[in-house]
Structure 1
Amino acid sequence: MKNFKNVSRSIHEWLGLTSGLIVFIVSLSGTLFVFCDEVIDICAGQAKHVTYDTAISKKPYDQLLRNFKEKHPKRELFYFDDYKDPTRSFRVASHEKLKDFRYTYINPYTGELLKNSKSYWVFFYIAAKIHSQILLNKTGQTIVGISTIIFLFELITGLILWFPKRWNKKSKQASFTIKKGTKWKRKVYDLHKVLGFYVLIPALLITITGLIMSFKILNDVTQEIFGGTPNGHELAEKYYPKFEKGKQIVPLDTIVNNLYQLNPTAHQVRLGFPYSKETKAHFFGVAAEEIGLKTWKNGHAILINGYTGYPVKMPEELENHEIIEQTIFDLHCGFWMGMTGKIITFLSGLICTSLPITGFIFWLSRKRKRKTSKRTA
């Protein structure tokens, strides 16, 4: 047992030293992403709401988007958000050559552009790219994936090292509490050991779902197990309505109203646009109680036929693919239990961010102690 723990300690230390910096960066950027929706709303300020007058109706969505394009002709529409709440502004997400993502808030009754916010760019692009790729594209994605595997082994070996030799009052106190009145070295050790134990289950959940999203083979296996299908996005393209030159797309109001009717409990609708104008015969819609930057509550994504305004019937395995994919993302980002899930994930992320720091400080102090012991000997 002693030899097993020594081996586990060596593995834990060297794997931690190898991946510590990446784990720190990925954990910190992921932690910042948890409350992205709340931060985006704060950045919107007063533009989030408008004065509601029962005598004035909302302008058609097509007209609101034309107003936007007149002001920003170089920007491409990504999606827009509509709300049942009559005091909420109309929100447009746009980009310029798939960069400089922005939210634009528009008064739905007057068409006035209220505010442009780069909060979308900061959280959707920068934070997400740092978290998944450390801004190094495919190379960074590989580095993050490998570091996540290492972190999984760190969690397992950490649990082995945490487990006391004997269960008694003293060992329980040392395992579950941070002892008061100790020197800083012991304090650092306790922070690493005790907090690492308490964060184990959410950290495992975040790590495993992160691996599923990072490695296609794991994602494919997960899809197969839960009734989905691998390569769901590619297969879904076969069901996209074919573009017919000269044929008119139905008014966006028709599509949005249909989405609200499909989900009577919905308070918000998001309608996404295809990347290619040449194949603009379909839209991606979501009607849900609440829709955030990358997730939604009590709703699911729907492929819309632009010529009819109604959903395209998809095979069950493709519908399951979308549900499974969204569930994995919700579990990874803390959106699985509302605000409670976010708080748990945020605190877990902070602790995971601290583990490479406390681990390195403790390792460094032990190394210096060994050198001092050798000199005195």
Structure 2
Amino acid sequence: MTPFKKTILFIHRWLGFISGLVVFIVSITGCIFCFQDEIQDAIHDYRKVEVQNKPYIAPSILKTEALKGRKGATASYIYYYGIGRPAGVLVNDKKEGLLYVYQNPYTGKITHTESPTSNFFIIVEYIHLYLLLPANIGGMVVGVSVIIFVVLMITGIVLWWPKRKTDRKRSLTIKWGGRWRRVNYDLHNVLGFYATSVAIILAITGLSIAFDWVREGIYATANLGKAHPEEKAVFKSDSLLKGKVDTTQIINKAYLAARAGSPNAEMFLIYDDEAKAGAVGVTAYAKALHYYKSDSYTFDKYSGKLLNRTAHEQKSPGMKMNNMNYDIHVGQILGLPGKIIAFLASLICASLPITGFIIWLGKRKKSKTKKVKTVVHRRTVRQHLPADR
């Protein structure tokens, strides 16, 4: 091995020790989360409703029903998840904390209420994002570990790269008939090579969730450095109208306007900012439970006036890239095949710290054995040497 590759191996090995446990946890939880929608649809009846030939009831009714009997509670987020799916209201209750209140979107009847801390897949998501640590600490630990993992993937490719073209075929296959240590070695190198391109994409999209500077970097790169100040503008309501007008129907008006503006959208998110100058935002998603293609609307919370509309087609490449971040990260940007690819890549990533550690243990034991044999050999030779006269 050349001095260069010895240096790369040293870096690869110690970075693996530093980040291995976190990479394993993040990767294995990523595997589990890939198919969370499909699994939850299969096991939870409340995620489905009978489709009725009539429009959804108004968001104000959903909000009122969700807050009924919860004194002092607030609800800023209202979801219409799509045809055949429930509506949901995110309630912030002083006693019980955050609650998801699911309702029939045609009748307003509450079908299920749950705390995020009781949903298995939300817990898995929190582990994936924060290791169940405080968000600012856990997010940093995960983010730094993922950055290290990207370096590991690059150094791994350098170490794997065969010297001769004739060795490439051997380097791309696993020798299943070999000894278990050889199979483990091939699993680490060959599967690592095949997973690298997908794993780096998953890592970058994950870093975009963890760090604003990554998200801004993707935005700037996709836009080729061109600024789009209109996309970062913050719109505010006319706070002078507070208390002078009846605002109870504003979210209904905003929802209907967004529905008319995006008639083919399947899913809607309504956000009612509680701040004095806050606005009502509505996001219309083209496909249920997919977040890439969407139109966004902003309304004055007192007058209902449309302050801004940004259609998907009007968005810059950078904004589109950031909007598709989640769908890329879980693989659903390519549908079921994409989820399978993301699942397999995450599973391989989870195996790499294990197979790598086994390789290191094997080499360590081999090194100790060589030392013992050398010492024994020297002693034996000395015993047979003639004595000095």
TM-score bucket (shorter structure) = 0.7 to 0.9
Contact 2:279 2:301 (C-alpha < 8 Å) held by counterparts? yes
Distance 2:90 2:66 in 1: 11
> Using a 3 Å threshold, how does the CA distance of structure 1 residues 258 and 118 change in structure 2: closer, same or farther?
same
Spell out, residue by residue over 1:2-59, the C-alpha distance to the aligned partner (whole angstroms, 9 max, x if none): 222222222211111121112112222333333333344345x2223334555x7754
Secondary structure at 2:3's aligned position in 1? helix
Name the structure 2 match of 1:252: 251
Q: Which amino acid aligns with 2:75?
A: L
Spell out, residue by residue over 1:71-129, the C-alpha distance to the aligned partner (whole angstroms, 9 max, x if none): 444543242222563x4332223344698544322123433211124468647864444
> Using a 3 Å threshold, how does the CA distance of structure 1 residues 84 and 189 change in structure 2: closer, same or farther?
closer
> Which moved further from structure 2: 56-65 or 104-113?
56-65
> Which moved further from structure 2: 211-220 or 356-365?
211-220
1:76-91 correspondence runs (5 A): 76-82=74-80, 85=83, 87-91=84-88
> Using a 3 Å threshold, how does the CA distance of structure 1 residues 313 and 76 change in structure 2: closer, same or farther?
same
1:220-299 correspondence runs (5 A): 220-227=216-223, 236-237=233-234, 239-243=235-239, 244-246=241-243, 247-249=245-247, 250-274=249-273, 277-279=274-276, 281-292=278-289, 295-299=290-294
Distance 2:309 2:85 in 1: 32
Instruction: Give the number of the structure with larger relative contact order, counting CA–CA contacts within 8 Å between residues 6 or more apart.
Output: 1
Secondary structure at 1:81's aligned position in 2? strand
Distance 2:331 2:144 in 1: 22
Runs of at least 4 residues of structure 1 off by over 6 A? 230-233
* Identity across matched positions, percent: 31
Contact 1:291 1:297 (C-alpha < 8 Å) held by counterparts? no
Name the structure 2 match of 1:202: 198
Number of aligned positions between the proteins: 365
Spell out, residue by residue over 1:308-329, the C-alpha distance to the aligned partner (whole angstroms, 9 max, x if none): 545422799x954653432334
- Aligned mate of 2:171, from 170, 175, 179: 175
Structure 2 unaligned segments of length 5 or more: list them: 375-389
Q: Which amino acid aligns with 2:267?
A: Q
1:107-146 correspondence runs (5 A): 107-118=104-115, 122=119, 126-134=123-131, 135-146=133-144
Name the structure 2 match of 1:19: 19
The answer on 1:165 being equivalent to 2:160 is no
Secondary structure at 1:79's aligned position in 2? strand
Cα drift, residue 154 of structure 1: 0.7
Distance 2:182 2:370 in 1: 18
Secondary structure at 2:102's aligned position in 1? strand
Name the structure 2 match of 1:328: 325
Structure 1 unaligned segments of length 5 or more: list them: none
Determine which structure has more spread, i.e. the larger CA radius of gyration.
Answer: 2
- Aligned mate of 1:343, from 323, 326, 340: 340
- Aligned mate of 1:62, from 47, 60, 69: 60
RMSD: 3.3
Cα drift, residue 137 of structure 1: 3.2
Q: Which amino acid aligns with 2:142?
A: V
The answer on 1:152 being equivalent to 2:150 is yes
Name the structure 2 match of 1:6: 6
Distance 1:232 1:23 in 2: 38
The answer on 1:187 being equivalent to 2:186 is no
Q: TM-score under structure 2 normalisation?
A: 0.81
Distance 2:277 2:67 in 1: 17
Secondary structure at 2:281's aligned position in 1? strand
Q: TM-score under structure 1 normalisation?
A: 0.83
Cα drift, residue 287 of structure 1: 1.2
Contact 2:269 2:283 (C-alpha < 8 Å) held by counterparts? yes
Contact 1:33 1:123 (C-alpha < 8 Å) held by counterparts? no
Cα drift, residue 179 of structure 1: 1.5
Contact 1:36 1:123 (C-alpha < 8 Å) held by counterparts? no
Name the structure 2 match of 1:106: 103
Cα drift, residue 176 of structure 1: 1.7
Contact 2:262 2:295 (C-alpha < 8 Å) held by counterparts? no
Secondary structure at 1:279's aligned position in 2? coil
Spell out, residue by residue over 1:202-252, the C-alpha distance to the aligned partner (whole angstroms, 9 max, x if none): 11112233344444444334333334769999x543x12133322222343
Contact 1:300 1:323 (C-alpha < 8 Å) held by counterparts? no
Distance 1:240 1:123 in 2: 37
Secondary structure at 1:369's aligned position in 2? helix
Contact 1:178 1:187 (C-alpha < 8 Å) held by counterparts? yes
Cα drift, residue 371 of structure 1: 1.3
Distance 1:347 1:251 in 2: 46
The answer on 1:354 being equivalent to 2:345 is no
Distance 1:99 1:29 in 2: 27
